[in-house]
Amino acid sequence: MAGRLPEKRCSGCERVLPLAAFARDRNRLDGLQVRCRECVAEYGAAHYRRRREAEGKAVREKVDVPAGRKLCRTCGEVKPHRERHRNSSASDGLSTRCKACRVVQGRQGHLKRQYGMTEAERDEMVAPQMGLCVICLKAPAVHVDHCHETGRVRGVLCFNCNSAIGKLGDDPDAVRRAAAYLEGSSWKPTLVAPGVYQLPS
């Protein structure tokens, strides 16, 4: 029939459903799982429950979730689908964590991978600074600063100050010259001949 969307029969519930009702599976000829997302979810939940019970572990109770919403496994809140990312390998095509939880865990992972520290350890460094950048004393200290040669964490700065010292090559002499320039006391030689400079008197 003209205009009819492609469909597929689910090997679980035997219903003929639109292709969007099936998750991807690269190992299949049509690139889709043989069971619909709903059947896969039901099977997965039953398998998970049996495995947890066999291991003597607590089993999460099923939460009644309204249509268009999903339970976040991290924060435990039921949120609209728009508040989570897509995940083609998930039974319903959506991430198990909400966007907010993914952001928090992403930040935690970055701190651990990049600097070998936790958020609590970073917050301990910021507390004596009253939450402010130690260079400008104005903006919130939110960016971990580290030595690019040794990897040692030096402190927590605001974005602008962290970026500024990075652009000056993490060179204390360059920072001192910049300060002298701003104070109007920097060395400003005068070119008197090709390659010959005269110092100010």
Task: Enumerate domains of the chain plus CATH numbers.
Answer: 7-56 (no CATH), 65-115 (3.30.60), 116-192 (3.40.1800.10)
List residues bridging with 79 in a β-sheet: 70
Q: What angle is formed at CA 129 by the lines to CA 128 and CA 132, rounded to 5 degrees?
A: 155
Structure tokens at 56: 């003597």
pLDDT for the residue numbered 138: 93
pTM for the whole thing?
0.48
pLDDT for the residue numbered 186: 62
- Cβ-Cβ contacts under 8 Å for 101 (sequence gap 6 or more): 72, 74, 75
pLDDT > 90: percent of the chain: 28
Checking if the pLDDT of 38 tops 80, the result is yes
Q: What is the mean pLDDT of residues 53-78?
A: 78
158 vs 54, higher pLDDT: 158
pLDDT for the residue numbered 156: 93
* Tens-digit pLDDT profile for residues 25-34: 999 999 999 9
- Residue 35 CA to residue 9 CA, distance in Å, equals 8
Residue 1 pLDDT class (50, 70, 90 cuts):
very low
Q: What is the mean pLDDT of residues 127-131?
A: 91
- Per the prediction, the chain carries an average pLDDT of 84
Residue with tokens 């997965």: 44
pLDDT for the residue numbered 61: 65
Checking if the pLDDT of 62 tops 90, the result is no
Closest C-alpha among 121, 120, 140, 122 to residue 130: 140
Query: How far out from the chain centre does Cα 63 lie?
Result: 27
CA 87 to each of CA 17, 51, 67: distance values in angstroms, whole numbers, following the listed order: 20, 24, 18
